[in-house]
Amino acid sequence: MSSSNMASVKSSGIVKAKSGSKADTSFRKRKSHTKSRSGCVNCKLRHIKCDESKPICNNCTSFRVSCTYDRTLKSSEALALQPWSEQVFPLVNARETHLTYASLASLSLNRQVLTMLNDHIRESDAQAVKNGFLFKDQHLRYLNQFHEKTILSLKMNHRLDLYRRESVRLAIREPFLLHLVLAVTLMHERLAASPLTTEPPSIQELYHHATGSSQLNQLLSSHPSQLSRVQKDAMFMGTILLACTSFAQLDASLPLASHWPFVSSPHDLDWLKICSGKRVVQKLADTHAADSALRDISYEFVLSGPAARVELLPEEDAIARLPEPLRRLLRLDHAGASAKTNAYYDAGVVVGRVLPLEISEDNLLVSLVLVSFLPVRFREMLEEKDAKALLLFAWYHAKIGQFGRWWVWRRAVTEGRAILAYLERYYGGTVGGDEELLGYPKKWCGMEVMVNEGMT
């Protein structure tokens, strides 16, 4: 061994011998740092500090692996350190403010989406956490089913692409909307094959409907300044879904005498109230604003003024479209008839505008928006079971039933037939005994319509 090496060894020995000094002890200590307890699974496995950026931390972005925070998922470790390109994740489109999806067909594999949703649950819904509820793979499968099937059966216009994209994007951001999406998907799965099925809703369907509705109501009580743009858009989308579910939500297994108007409950005409409330929510959500992702579809709910996208019949022409016996019964056949002089005038205008519409997807939406303009006084007359108001309402049911959508047809037929049976039982000598007045509703609220027209 050379003298230089020997010197090195001795030097090393001397250093070791003096290693107990205070200065050397501090030199050998590991650099102190705050230990992260909530970092992602990948950073934990790689023993590196996670910056906890969501939905994807910077380390996983640089390492190009899927980023998973939720350690409660059984398959988190199996997915750890997998290339992110194998996962489905919303990508930001530089030219737009919304998110798009590379492949929603594989959405059930996306742990990033589950992480985002469950983080929202933990932050905003203590009761759900207490009950042990978290979103799982099956919920994402239903979300995909909503995108591929259910939304197609709900929307009726040329902006279907926007409804599909934004409903899923907003549902991923706001759990209350995802609950409503799951509820309507489960309802569609139950009713699509046979709209008059007597199969009761599952516990899952009831839970998601109740939870989504409750959380939406909480948001509606907030001041607009407290709501984000995403929350406002999600509120409006949620109200659209609630209107659809409330329309289809009645028990077809019950005999007609167990339905309104034979029986009364606090929930009578809830669907009609929600249709009217949708316009209030639209104003609160300010969906006409330039930064709203729903701006384009929000104008579909405007039927008057320069922003209207449909041309409605003038009031006088709409009244003239009502059959002469009905106009005579309602005393709308006088030249001076108006909303000020006749309680049935506004409702007669609505029905007169709906009756001549061609059966098309766009016109179904128009029919549903028109009914939201029924005045409060007319709704009160329905609740009071005024015979003439009920008859006019039966004509409306007969028309919308012809559009054939599963969620519309169920109520149009069941409630329409119940109204007719009620009129025949209690007003057989007047309204209920006139075939000129009852012929049209009887034809289109009949059981044979489903067989002749086909349900979609």
Q: Tell me the pLDDT band of 432, cut-offs 50, 70 and 90.
A: low
Q: Which of 401, 380, 414 is nearest to 257 (CA)?
A: 414
Q: What is the pLDDT of residue 186?
A: 95
Q: What is the pLDDT of residue 80?
A: 56
pLDDT digits (tens, 9 = 90+) for 137-194: 788 788 888 988 899 888 656 678 888 889 988 988 888 999 999 999 999 999 987 8
Q: In 349-414, where do the E strands start and end?
A: none
Query: Average pLDDT for residues 430-446, to the nearest whole number?
Result: 83
How do the residues of the chain divide into helix, strand and coil, expressed in percent and rounded to 5? 60, 0, 35
Q: What is the pLDDT of residue 342?
A: 95
Q: What is the pLDDT of residue 345?
A: 97
End-to-end Cα separation, the chain, in angstroms = 92
Q: Tell me the pLDDT band of 66, cut-offs 50, 70 and 90.
A: low
Q: What is the pLDDT of residue 395?
A: 96
Which sign does the torsion angle of CA 354, 445, 243, 142 carry?
A: negative
Q: Are residues 151 and 160 in contact, defined by beta-carbon separation less than 8 angstroms?
A: yes
Instruction: Flag whether pLDDT at 92 surpasses 70.
Output: no
Determine the 3-state secondary structure of 51 from DSSP.
coil
Instruction: Flag whether pLDDT at 260 surpasses 90.
Output: yes
Full-model pTM: 0.72
Helix axes 387-400, 376-383, angle to 10 degrees: 100
Q: What is the pLDDT of residue 299?
A: 77
Q: Are residues 346 and 375 in contact, defined by beta-carbon separation less than 8 angstroms?
A: yes
What token pair was written down for 250?
């009645």
Q: What is the pLDDT of residue 121?
A: 73
Query: Average pLDDT for residues 261-273, to the nearest whole number?
Result: 90
Q: Measured at the alpha carbon of residue 418, what is the angle toward residues 414 and 419, in degrees to the nearest 5?
A: 120
Instruction: Flag whether pLDDT at 10 surpasses 50.
Output: no
Instruction: Flag whether pLDDT at 455 surpasses 60.
Output: no
The tally of CA atoms less than 13 A away on the side-chain side of residue 90 is 19
> Can you tell me the distance from the alpha carbon of 398 to that of 444, in angstroms, rounded to the nearest whole number?
5
Q: What is the pLDDT of residue 357?
A: 92
Query: Average pLDDT for residues 224-238, to the nearest whole number?
Result: 94
Q: Are residues 184 and 163 in contact, defined by beta-carbon separation less than 8 angstroms?
A: no
Q: What is the pLDDT of residue 350?
A: 95
What token pair was written down for 400?
């919308």
Q: What is the pLDDT of residue 188?
A: 94
Selected residue with higher pLDDT from 239 and 451? 239
Of the listed ranges 20-24, 122-126, 288-292, 322-326, the least confidently predicted one is: 20-24
Instruction: Flag whether pLDDT at 308 surpasses 80.
Output: no
Omega cis (within 30) before 90: no
Q: Which of 3-17, 27-41, 105-119, 267-281 shows the highest mean pLDDT? A: 267-281
Mean pLDDT of the chain: 78
Query: Average pLDDT for residues 74-102, to the nearest whole number?
Result: 41
> Can you tell me the distance from the alpha carbon of 414 to that of 432, in angstroms, rounded to the nearest whole number?
18
